[in-house]
Amino acid sequence: MKKTVTVTVDVLSHKMNPDLKVLSAAEKAKVLKKFGVDDNSVPKILPTDQLVGALKAKPGDLIRIERNDGTGKYLSYRIVVEG
């Protein structure tokens, strides 16, 4: 009889993932005001995304993504939307 093995991977600590943070309501408001946008103008991410699940983000949460492409660091943002 075959034995079933469950493998758990921490997707947040994988070396290819950028640094991610769920912003507080105050941080979210500050970012939206800084760029003069609202929730509908921010790129979207679904709650079914593995990173969203690992961050325990909910619809309406704004996620800050910090990437380093070799020439420097830059920020981008995604808002969690209903699936």
User: What residue numbers bound the domain in which 20 lies?
Assistant: 11-80
The verdict on residue 5 lying in a domain is: no
The verdict on residue 3 lying in a domain is: no
Model pTM score: 0.82
The verdict on residue 6 lying in a domain is: no
pLDDT of the chain, 83 residues: tens digit per residue: 677 776 666 777 766 678 899 999 999 999 999 999 999 999 999 999 988 999 999 999 999 999 988 899 999 999 999 97
pLDDT the model gives residue 7? 62
The verdict on residue 4 lying in a domain is: no
The verdict on residue 39 lying in a domain is: yes
pLDDT the model gives residue 36? 97
Instruction: Count other Cβ atoms within 10 Å, centred on residue 81.
Output: 16
8 A C-beta contact, residue 27 and residue 33? no
CATH of the domain at 35: 3.90.940.20
> What total number of domains does the chain contain?
1
pLDDT the model gives residue 62? 98
Residue showing tokens 């309501």: 25
The verdict on residue 21 lying in a domain is: yes
